[in-house]
Amino acid sequence: MKWKKNHRRGYSCILLAIIMIGGITLFFERAGSSFGRTVSTSLLFKLADSYQAGTIYDRNKTVIGRGVEIGKMEWGLEADAMDACSNLIGTPIQTTFASSYTVLGMAAPNLYGYYQNRFTNWKDWLFPRKRIGDDVTLTIDCAMQEEIYKTIKNFSNACVTVINYKTGEILAMVSVPTFDIRDEEALQLDENGVIDASYNNSAYMNKNLHATYMPGSTIKPILLAIALDAHPELKDFVYICEEGNHTFGNMTVDCFDGEFHGKMNLNDGIRLSCNGFAIAMSLEMSEEELEEGLKRWELDTAKQYENRFACDSSSFYGKGEHSQVNRILGSIGQGNCRVNIYELSSMYGAIFFNGIRKDPIFIQTENNTNSKETIVCTEETAKKLQKALISVVEEGTGASYCMKEEGIIVGGKTGTADVNLETGERTVWAVAGILEEDMPYVVTVCLADQGKEASGGTTAGPVMKEVLKKIVSKR
Binding site for Zn ion (CB under 5 A): 241, 255, 261, 274, 276
CA distance 442 to 79: 27
Complex with Zn ion: residue 274 or 388, whichever CB lies closer? 274
CA distance 288 to 308: 32
CA distance 20 to 24: 6
| Residue 393 C-beta: closest distance to Zn ion, Å | 19
The angle formed by the CA atoms of residues 274, 278 and 280, to the nearest 5 degrees, is 115
Query: What does DSSP say about strands 239-241 and 136-138: parallel, antiparallel, or unpaired?
Result: unpaired
460 DSSP assignment: I
| Residue 275 C-beta: closest distance to Zn ion, Å | 6
If one counts every other C-beta atom within 10 angstroms of the C-beta of residue 7, the result is 9
User: Residue type for 166, please?
Assistant: K
| Residue 274 C-beta: closest distance to Zn ion, Å | 3
Complex with Zn ion: residue 145 or 217, whichever CB lies closer? 217
Complex with Zn ion: residue 284 or 287, whichever CB lies closer? 284
Complex with Zn ion: residue 246 or 357, whichever CB lies closer? 246
What's the gap between Cα 456 and its chain centre? Answer: 20
CA distance 340 to 127: 49
Give the sign of the dihedral formed by CA 23, CA 25, CA 28, CA 29. negative
| Residue 217 C-beta: closest distance to Zn ion, Å | 11
* Bridge partners of residue 444, in order along the sequence: 161, 431
| Residue 261 C-beta: closest distance to Zn ion, Å | 4
| Residue 410 C-beta: closest distance to Zn ion, Å | 24
Complex with Zn ion: residue 280 or 446, whichever CB lies closer? 280
The angle formed by the CA atoms of residues 208, 212 and 213, to the nearest 5 degrees, is 105
56 and 362 Cβ atoms separated by less than 8 Å? no
| Residue 411 C-beta: closest distance to Zn ion, Å | 21
Complex with Zn ion: residue 227 or 410, whichever CB lies closer? 227
Complex with Zn ion: residue 269 or 433, whichever CB lies closer? 269
229 and 433 Cβ atoms separated by less than 8 Å? no
161 and 173 Cβ atoms separated by less than 8 Å? yes
440 and 110 Cβ atoms separated by less than 8 Å? no
Complex with Zn ion: residue 133 or 269, whichever CB lies closer? 269
CA distance 316 to 343: 13
Minimal CA–CA distance to 342: which of 175, 198, 156?
Answer: 175
272 and 261 Cβ atoms separated by less than 8 Å? yes
User: Residue type for 177, please?
Assistant: P
| Residue 331 C-beta: closest distance to Zn ion, Å | 13
Minimal CA–CA distance to 334: which of 166, 460, 170, 214?
Answer: 214
Complex with Zn ion: residue 92 or 276, whichever CB lies closer? 276
| Residue 330 C-beta: closest distance to Zn ion, Å | 18
CA distance 475 to 143: 13
Complex with Zn ion: residue 158 or 241, whichever CB lies closer? 241
| Residue 258 C-beta: closest distance to Zn ion, Å | 10
Give the sign of the dihedral formed by CA 57, CA 63, CA 67, CA 71. negative
| Residue 193 C-beta: closest distance to Zn ion, Å | 53
Complex with Zn ion: residue 345 or 414, whichever CB lies closer? 414
Cis peptide before 177 (omega within 30 of 0): yes
